[in-house]
Chains A and B, each alone.
Chain A
Amino acid sequence: MLLADSTRFALQAITSHRMRSFLTLLGIAVGIAAVILLTSIGEGVHRFVLAEFTQFGTNVIGVAPGKVKTGGQPPTGIPTTARLLTMEDAESLKQLPHVTGSTPTVWGNSEVEGNGRLRRTTIYGVDADFTRVFSSKVRIGSFLPREGAGSSRAFVVLGSKLRNELFGTANPLGARVRIGGLHFRVIGVMAPKGQFLGIDLDDTAFIPAQRALELYNREGLMEIHVMYAEGASSATVAKAVKSRLTLRHGHEDFTVTTQEDMLKTLSNILNILTMAVGALGGISLLVGAVGIVTIMTISVTERTNEIGLLVALGARRSTVLGLFLSESIILAALGGMLGLLLGVGLAQLISLLIPTFPVHTPWSFAVGALLMSAVIGLLAGVLPARSAAHLDPIEALRAE
């Protein structure tokens, strides 16, 4: 029997019971729609989180003092015996090949007083490379100037929110503010950057790292962020950073984390999350598959006569098997298509109604869902189709 003919035959069988076939394929459709919707949300969250982390650029390597060993990295704030990372370390990393910038980082929380107002905020001690490394923009004035270590002047650049809180709409440039016990002159205001994982990136002040060490009475940096040229291998740069610092420190007493590694780990976690919610949708798909098995079993019983006839007319067992298999595959595939429309439609509706809610349907998921529904149809059809193919034709013809 030709494939086109068996497909047509199966389609005729499906359309001869419109309501029943529709309800059966609806079961599959709901399952596929659930899988698509849930994985779309999972994928949307995935992208959202990755976007949050990559907004500072992906070609950044972090260097932290202390070597991560089996015991893990010591939490910041607890005294360690690790050798300190110094301003000179940060300076020397700038010379490495492929490295386009590096910024020492020290941060803390302090009261900032300016324009007669007081606000407790996060203070970052960085250097001139900061804006490039973290792809931040200055709105007015300028960022911290490039200065030799030890000679950094007491300048501060305000985050946009801090500026609003302290100065309102007044021009803060040139104003003096007090941070902790030290005095600084405002030379710039950052462009708003929004929130990152709940932390307000605009409620900040940037001062030279040298001054921050002084302010917080620290001898070593908390972290050094190194940015390398787009296209350079992160592993190569990480290796260069490692060997340079090992040379300076005598042995490896620091930890190098590339953002690529971090993102990879994060991406893996998020993929598992997507798969987990997809599996939840898979349960309803399973129920739909059981529906197909049920309806195909009923169909075989109802059409016992017809099966006997087909055998009498010279149909081979494999032909009978193929007919019933294609029937369940078509049923499932139609359900899959309907579910695809339903799922994508719902996902679009959600992103239309709640634009901030991250939903994303990759095409690979849609194609995968269709293939999956066909496979489900195949699996669900095997049992009923086999029983059809193995009917005794004489009994089958006699059945009423």
Chain B
Amino acid sequence: MPDESLIQLNDINRTFTLGDSQVHALRHVDLTITRGEYIAVMGPSGSGKSTLLNLVGLLDRADAGTYKLEGRDVTTLNSDEQARVRSERIGFIFQSFHLVPRLTAAANIELPLTLAGMPASERAKRVSQALKEYGLTDRAQHRPNELSGGQRQRVAIARATILRPAVLLADEPTGNLDRVTGEEVVRLLESLNAQGMTLIVVTHDQALGARARRQIRMEDGGVVSDVTNTPNPAAT
């Protein structure tokens, strides 16, 4: 069913040159991800999982192979077209939140809309909607340094999802959070996934990885295991 496949990676290779040596960050990766999946990408440092995430997020280009997003070959797009795809179809969540320190929570959430050139009245509507959905209304005018870690990551998630992307890419989303707030953030992400958003989480955390329905394990730039669990009612 080609209609259902959201992301299709065919024989992707990515090599970095570090000094004299060549590092194969990704070798011959084939991967098909369908709409609405919940995927955890795991593996040791340097296994290529971050590179994979960057590549799917169009921050990086493959040296060889093809990448189709929603049936469209995005490997050949120029950088402006890729920026448009990032803006409209991809949401990023980072370990260190990456909020702009001088902007308020509301302005941080608004940023993708501003960059997309949306008129201010439409932006204000969407931002207040998002603030309400993520329970941040009373924090709207606070700057990131006045927010707790969990609130910061909620702002980041609200920012990543405000343009309703097709896929949410999270790189160690709980890495800078304590257990309880980490748990909250994961539940938030999972609820987004339950609403149909494709979620790809890169993590070291075995417990976090175990919650995903599909677990991809990487080593030395290749996929070593790709397991899809049957839905586990105990995980909720």
Contact = CB atoms under 8 A, between A and B. Distances in A.
Contacts of A308: 98
Interface stretch (A137-145, A171-179, A311-319): A311-319
Interface string A184-225: 000000000000000000000000000000000000000000
Given A5-B114, A315-B83, A317-B79, A13 B102 contact: yes
Contact of A316 (B79, B112, B120): B79
B172 interface: no
B83 A314 contact: yes
Interface in B36-92: 54, 57, 59-60, 79-80, 83-88, 90, 92
B29 interface: no
Contacts of A319: 83, 115
A5 B114 CA distance: 7
A305 interface: yes
B98 A311 contact: no
B154 interface: no
Given A13-B102, A305-B98, A311 B59 contact: yes
A318 B83 CA distance: 11
Contacts of A13: 102
B100 A394 contact: no
A394 B92 contact: no
A4 B117 CA distance: 10
A5 B113 CA distance: 11
A55 interface: no
A311 B60 CA distance: 11
Nearest to B86: A314
Contacts of A306: 98, 100
Given A1-B115, A394-B59, A397-B94, A16 B88 contact: no
A2 interface: yes
B100 A312 contact: no
A305 B102 CA distance: 13
A1 B114 contact: yes
Contacts of A312: 57, 59, 86, 92, 98
B116 interface: yes
Contact of B115 (A305, A314, A394): A314
B159 interface: yes
Interface in A309-343: 309-319
A109 interface: no
A341 B84 CA distance: 44
B192 interface: no
A298 to B, nearest CB: 15
Contact of B80 (A2, A5, A316): A316
A392 to B, nearest CB: 9
Interface in A275-307: 305-306
B186 interface: no
B208 interface: no
A394 B88 contact: no
Contacts of A314: 83-88, 90, 112, 115-116
A4 B101 CA distance: 21
B103 interface: yes
Interface of A is mostly: helix
A12 interface: yes
Interface string B93-137: 010001011110000000110111101100000000000000000
A315 B117 CA distance: 10
Contacts of A318: 80
B103 A12 contact: yes
Contacts of B94: 397
A2 B111 CA distance: 12
A313 B112 contact: yes
B26 to A, nearest CB: 13
A397 B98 contact: yes
A144 to B, nearest CB: 80
A393 interface: yes
A211 B148 CA distance: 104
B8 to A, nearest CB: 22
Nearest to A9: B114
A12 B79 contact: no
A344 to B, nearest CB: 33
Interface string A5-47: 1000100110010000000000000000000000000000000
Given A393-B59, A397-B98, A313 B103 contact: no
A313 B80 contact: no
Contacts of B117: 1-2, 5
Contacts of B57: 312
A6 to B, nearest CB: 9
Given A305-B98, A316-B80, A310 B115 contact: yes
Contacts of B159: 313
Contacts of B83: 311, 314-317, 319
Interface in A364-397: 393-394, 397
A314 B162 CA distance: 13
A345 B38 CA distance: 67
A288 to B, nearest CB: 24
Nearest to B60: A394
A306 B94 CA distance: 12
5 contacts: A2-B114, A5-B117, A310-B111, A314-B112, A315-B115
Given A1-B115, A314-B87, A316-B84, 7 more contacts: A1-B116, A311-B59, A313-B87, A314-B88, A319-B83, A394-B59, A397-B98
